[in-house]
Structure 1
Amino acid sequence: MSGPADVELIAVQKRFGSVVAVDTVNLAVSAGTYACLLGPSGCGKTTTLRMIAGHEQVTSGDIMIGRDNVIDLPPARRGTAMMFQNYALFPHLNCLENVAFSLKMQRIPKKERREQALAFLRLVQMEEYAKRLPAQLSGGQQQRIALARALVTKPGVLLLDEPLSALDPFLRVQMRVELKRLQTELGISFIHVTHSQEEAMALADLVVVMNHGRIQQSGTPQQVYRQPRTEFVARFMGGHNVLRGRVTGVETLLVNLVAGGYSLAVRKPEWQIGTDLAFAIRGDKIRFGDASTGDACTASAKPNTLPATVRSVEYHGAWVQVELELPVPGMSQEAFRVVCSENAFFAHPVSVGERTVVTWDIDDGHVLEA
């Protein structure tokens, strides 16, 4: 291995004509980190990955890998390797030959490149398939061969463009475990593009959430999930409901808000009266109250207690998701979701069309940036 390397993007921008695909991105990925670039289609994550790899030219800004600014270097001289979404295996070469191909291009002697290729097939647990053609392999096995082919060049940084998207759900989970095992074992930096929140949360040391070519938030999975910075991050990461209110009173420890005539409270004392706030509440922090208190008058008397009507109930095995309709401005079309454990839900079940009440603790509301 060339050794793990730090990767730093400094004010990186990419334009395609008048379209700004990546807009002044600043990002530091420490050596040995598993980083996931996460976001919806068209957010700029794959373009960012391709600029790091050298497959896309930077319009402005700098990309540092280790101590070197690599924006003018070809891909082969950057100390990176890229694993493409479609794997791009050579159909006429067997697995061993596919893995050894880049070593052949480096004019490494046949015996040596065969030994190295076998070692990396062993690393991804595919040594017994060395003589098979790609067409004779399952999708997961093809992915392992593509991974071995990328790693055999001994990069300091491995770049992965949605590597699990073509796999079935069971195999995706299995390959997540394998990717994390390999990254930990090799100790090199992995930068992995995905649109799956679950994938990023399971794999990453560093989650980077992107939208419209910009980084909305970066941090550990726990930081991004528990403390979303913006409304986009709260909604995209899933599990969060967003409510809005206007500050009507500021106490020593609390901000009191009103939303559609209902009293809400959050911990954020520095806001001024009259300020409009958006805040997030995780679905698993919300509880159902007594349906007999579901009228607007009673619900508004207690902070963070709202009447609701059940829209749908989805059983997911260990947990149940309930989607509600709230009589709050701005929430008529927006789903408000409560997540319960299986035991908690069936102890006090609700059904579609039923009127109920939801409530949450003051400390569970998280104020978002404008």
Structure 2
Amino acid sequence: MTFGTELRRHRQDAGLTLAELSSRILMHRTHIHHVETGRRAPTAELAEAADTALHANGALVAEFLREHSQRQEQAATRKTLAASLATSRDLMALADLEIDQLHAGVEETAVDYLAQAPGPMLLRADTLRRDALQRLQDYRHGPHERADLYVAAGRLSGILAYAALDLGDADAALEHARAAGRCAQYAGDTELLMWVRGTQSLIARFNGDYGIALDYVRDGLQYAGDVPGSGEARLVCGEVQCLANLGDSRGANRTLHLAEQARERIHRPDSLAGLFEFSETKQRYYAASSLIWLDGGDDARTAATEAEAAIASWKQMAPEQRSLDDERLCHIYLATAQVQLGEVEAAAEAMAPVLALPAEAQISWINKRAHRVSSMLSAPRFQHSHAATDLREAITALGT
């Protein structure tokens, strides 16, 4: 629902043409048409006049206020994204990073990111990183604290990369990731560098560049060995996603077994939780999100099983431990596998929590993957399925 569609509905319900409404509210009918079709944003004056003329009882004014608030929030997010990019460029340009101290907020932000919208997390991470950069530029640090703040700046840049990607800006995400990688190299932190390579691979996969994504994975895997955390398992799971998207079922399934072996080799926990931890639940999520790109059959059945297991695991966790965006995406992956298996009613049930999300919770990944389900439902075999038509229409309305 948008202000434009609501305005058109109320106008049509009142039996008025554009010209008739134009004469009542003293605004040109072309302008009203542009507002109805979304080509122009409404004004408070138009909303109030149309609400009165169409006897909408405040509904049009309320919709205008909701959209106006949303536009202001989106503008603020875009401004923060632009400012955070400038800081990434500053980090990239510095030959030496001198750092005063680790910021206590880094760990909290990494954990909070799992359950928060990307916009506020973008702002918080950018604020923390600006403070780190200011301390750097003012040389307010001890001689032995350099590597620690390299790591802090790198982690914050990594959080910004995730936020930018969740907001649909892959170019900004890649630039933040490069800054994170540079910081990891300066700090000599192999664990962080492996995480960055996994994130760069994720961004490449978002863009559909699976060959480049594989290069990032293989570069990261050269550092595997006596490194704490789950970085190797995460990278190998990224390789599974690449192989599946390239249509290699045998290679994808073989590499899934290698990912399980990599998890068994974890002997020390990740240095930081939240966004920087690759849990067993997340590994199941990766398996599901990979196998749905193959041709159905056994791969689809395995994907559905893994997705159901991941969702069940998340539901048992404390709220602060759940990765809400991943959990929502897992519902889409489950629905995708079920559509591949011809189980449309089950797919609709899996999609229900996603379809009920408010627009601000629908990150770029959700819209991208949900509309693939819609496209699959357009196949000839679903032509006479009312359930397929209903689900396809519900997905089309996502984000409106």
The two structures have a TM-score, normalised by structure 2, of: 0.26
Higher percent of residues as strand:
1
